[in-house]
Amino acid sequence: MPTTNKLALATAAAAALLAAQPYDLVIKGGHVIDPKNNLNAVMDVAIAGGKIARVGGVIPVASGKHTVDAKGLYVAPGLIDVHVHVFPRSGRPGVQPDALSFRSGVTTMVDAGTTGARTFPDFRKQVIDAAQTRVLAFLNIVEAGMGTGEEDDPGQLNVEAATRLAKANQDVIVGFKSAHYGGPGWESVEKAVAAGKLTDMPVMIDFGYLNKVRNLSTLLLDKLRSGDTYTHCYSGHREELLADGKVNPAIAEARRRGIVFDVGHGAGSFYWYVAIPAFQQSFVPDSISTDLHSGSRNAGMKDMANTMAKVLNLGASIEQVIAMSTLNPAREIKRPDLGHLSVGAEADVAVLRVDRGSFGFIDSAGAAHPGTRNIAAELTLRKGKVVWDLNGRAAENWKTFPYKKQA
């Protein structure tokens, strides 16, 4: 057979093979948990062009250019850490998002008010637009942002500047934050809520400490709106747990009003002496978040997976834990495009391993509590691309790998 005919046949065969492989990647045999779509079963997930292309019982191996064996693992939407700090604050270096997101299955981080109207433009340019991780933000109602020494200055609580900037950056600003306010009254909370009303955006509150005027009941039942978030829900600093060991009754009433409760672990906001009795009394969080910053990442709070494992060992199911880390935070920030594996959605995927054994977990004070299950991210995809592969599940064996050799 002439060489030209052989070449034509080989080209045609290659083209036919490519046509028979409509998917870039197929994740096979994993236990898919997608709370939005009520999926909770072993099935395959196919990805093409950076989007979820198919979720089904059995997708043929031959239909994917690459295949990942996820047997024994959980396949979930990319995790959303709804409370982080990834911009430098006064006296604290910034945390680089990509360095800590993907390795724990996180594909979206929401910065919780590190910057305000005056400092956000630098944050957007230096971090949000530069990161591979999707970085969104709650805008601090304080123009200068957090850790500046200006958080108690009423003159810094600029509703007009905050709403104007939020409207101009609706693609990344998802709400407003009031945090660490030490004034005597409700000025910071009220200004943040006012900005939320003007933009139809939620508010996240780090309530600081109580005083003679400000108390948890008034905050949750009078000041916040349905859909607003109370973070650091197991801190114990604000009478979440009363002296008699009972959960503050205002919390149950607030939940009925639609107030959202977020973990916000951090370096000083998650304690076993609060979380354990709270769980025993059925006070579970709506969302799991790390409050990641330079002072928390190597302390009791390790990362998102470790924080999820704590909630798992407190008594939540793996289905609840994944919902608390995907669908729920997506709803909290009003981003229906995130937190699910619907066909056509951007292919942000977390493949998680749940180990059974003897483990120890540390709270913000450094106190340990044992657990029998731990969570690790085996594989993370962002826009359909593998950005974290703990054990080479998506990688080709070195013996057949097409190395580019130096000339």
**What is the DSSP code string of 29-64?**
EEEEEEGGGTEEEEEEEEEETTEEEEEES---GGGE
- Structural domains in the chain (count): 1
Q: Going by DSSP bridges, is the β-strand pair 368-382/385-389 parallel, antiparallel, or unpaired?
A: antiparallel
Q: Give the separation between CA 290 and CA 296, rounded to whole angstroms.
A: 9
Rounded CA separation 382/77 (Å): 10
**How confident is residue 296, by pLDDT bands cut at 50, 70 and 90?**
confident
Evaluate whether 231 touches 206 at the Cβ level (below 8 Å).
yes
Average per-residue pLDDT for the chain: 93
Question: Residue 219 is part of a domain; what is its CATH number?
Answer: 3.20.20.140
d(CA 270, CA 406): 52
Q: Is residue 392 part of a domain?
A: no
For residue 160, give the DSSP letter.
Answer: H
| CA atoms within a 13 Å half-sphere pointing along the CA-CB vector of 298 | 3
Res 16 pLDDT > 70: no
The answer to whether residue 1 is domain-embedded is no
**Which pTM does this prediction carry?**
0.94
The identity of residue 45, as a single letter, is V
Q: Report which of residues 407 and 86 the model is more confident about.
A: 86
- Is 358 contained in some domain? no
pLDDT of residue 89: 76
Q: Comparing C-alpha atoms, which of 164, 62, 79 is closest to residue 116?
A: 164
Of the listed ranges 51-60, 91-100, 301-310, the least confidently predicted one is 91-100
In a domain, 390, yes or no: no
75 pLDDT higher than 80: yes
Is residue 380 domain-resident? no
Taking residues 227-237, report their average pLDDT.
96
**Does some domain include residue 365?**
no
Evaluate if residue 91 carries a pLDDT over 80: no
Please give the residue range of the domain that contains residue 330: 78-342
Q: What per-residue confidence (pLDDT) applies to 220?
A: 98
| Alpha-carbon gap, residue 102 to 80, rounded angstroms | 11
Q: What is the pLDDT of residues 336-360, one digit of tens each?
A: 999 999 999 999 999 999 999 999 9
pLDDT-above-90 percentage for the chain: 84
Q: Has residue 317 got a pLDDT over 90? A: yes
pLDDT over 70, % of the chain: 94
**Confidence band of 209 (pLDDT split at 50, 70, 90):** confident
Residue 250 resides in a domain: yes
pLDDT at residue number 266: 95
Judge whether residue 88 has pLDDT over 90: no
pLDDT at 11: 44
Mean pLDDT of 223-229: 98
Within-domain flag for 37: no
Angle value at C-alpha 98, between 148 and 167, nearest 5 degrees: 55
Q: Tens of pLDDT along 113-145?
A: 999 999 999 999 999 999 999 999 999 999 999
380-398 pLDDT per residue, tens: 999 999 999 999 999 999 9
- Per-residue pLDDT for 4 more than 60? no
Could you tell me the strand order of the sheet in which 134-140 lies? Answer: 79-84, 106-116, 134-140, 173-179, 203-206, 229-230, 260-261
